[in-house]
Structure 1
Amino acid sequence: MITLSRTVSLADGEVEITAIRAQGAGGQHVNKASTAIHLRFDIRASSLPEYYKDRLMAARHHLISSDGVIVIKSQEHRSQELNREAAIARLVAVIKELTAVQKSRRPTRPTRASKERRLTSKAQKSSVKALRGKVRRPQD
């Protein structure tokens, strides 16, 4: 059971996990052992709420194919179990990221006191700079 939030979770059968051979350096181990994980999650056939499905299908993300399947390949660890956990964690992170609702920004205004503080500091700085001129001796 993969938990996304307190109310939303995925059954293990909804996520298709396949072990494949990893790419790259690693000597004999990488040629013999299938430690990389290929995870596929079909958004349309899942038990996610319709809101989640709509948000995921509307999102333009490189992990989501055009037919609505999230494809994740994990091969950063040497062990198959760690790669499986990393792939599931990435799936959860992608779903949470794409279904999060942004709070609408309410524009704020500066308070009267902050405006007064700004103006008094401006006046003080201008008087300091005005006193930086050449010092002239009074004419006798």
Structure 2
Amino acid sequence: MTTPGSDLRVGTRFVIPAGELAERFSRSSGPGGQGVNTTDSRVELSFDVARSPSIPESLRPRLLERLAGRLVDGVLTIAASEHRAQLANREAARARLAATLSDAAAPPPPPRRPTKPTRGSKERRIAAKKRRSDVKKSRRSRYDD
């Protein structure tokens, strides 16, 4: 786990310097009693994906395409408020940001090679349809026709 204020490692792909991350704190909802009204424990971690010099140029288009629905003017924002402590929320937000960027930077899966059903699978399918047809036929009364 990374500590707040240090660089953020995104898998084995790249490292984001702490200076490129912007943190904003606000009041969190949820458990905490009276302390929840006075403590700014919610963390919003922002990272400029579109203009960051730490992202390799070969990865930037893939990241922008895969994160398109989550970006606002090229900036990815992660919010964490599940813990009572601000430090724990900062660590959770950093971990979530690293996981999100790592998933988006992953190479695309190999293309699927189309296959045809085997002769045996076709025969089994037809046999099952025939059995089902026979069951339905046997349930019909003589007077339905």
Fold-level match, TM-score > 0.5? yes
- Letter paired with 1:60: A
1:119 aligns with 2:129: no
Q: How many residues align?
A: 132
The structure 2 residue matched to 1:105, chosen from 99, 112, 126, is 112
Structure 1 residue 112: deviation in Å? 1.0
Structure 1 residue 79: deviation in Å? 0.6
Q: Which residue of 1 aligns with 2:19?
A: 13
Q: 1-side partners of 2:19 and 2:141: how far apart?
A: 83
For structure 2, list consecutive stretches of 5 or more residues without a partner in the other structure: 1-6
Q: 1-side partners of 2:61 and 2:54: how far apart?
A: 13
Structure 1 residue 5: deviation in Å? 2.1
Change (3 A) 1:70 1:129: closer
With normalisation by structure 1, the TM-score equals: 0.71
Change (3 A) 1:23 1:125: closer
Contact between 1:21 and 1:30, CA under 8 Å: does it hold in 2? no
Q: 2-side partners of 1:107 and 1:79: how far apart?
A: 51
SS in 2 for 1:86: helix
Change (3 A) 1:56 1:131: closer
The structure 2 residue matched to 1:24, chosen from 29, 45, 48, is 29
Q: Using CA pairs below 8 Å that are at least 6 residues apart, which structure has the higher relative contact order?
A: 2
Q: Which residue of 2 aligns with 1:49?
A: 56
Q: 2-side partners of 1:46 and 1:112: how far apart?
A: 55
Higher gyration radius (CA) = 1
Q: Which residue of 2 aligns with 1:138?
A: none
Q: 2-side partners of 1:72 and 1:127: how far apart?
A: 58
Contact between 2:28 and 2:40, CA under 8 Å: does it hold in 1? no
With normalisation by structure 2, the TM-score equals: 0.69
For structure 1, list consecutive stretches of 5 or more residues without a partner in the other structure: 136-140
Contact between 2:44 and 2:77, CA under 8 Å: does it hold in 1? yes
Percent of residue pairs identical: 38
- Letter paired with 1:39: L
Q: 2-side partners of 1:24 and 1:118: how far apart?
A: 55
Deviation by residue 1:32-61 (Cα, 9 ceiling, x = unmatched): 333222212122124111133222333422
Change (3 A) 1:125 1:71: closer
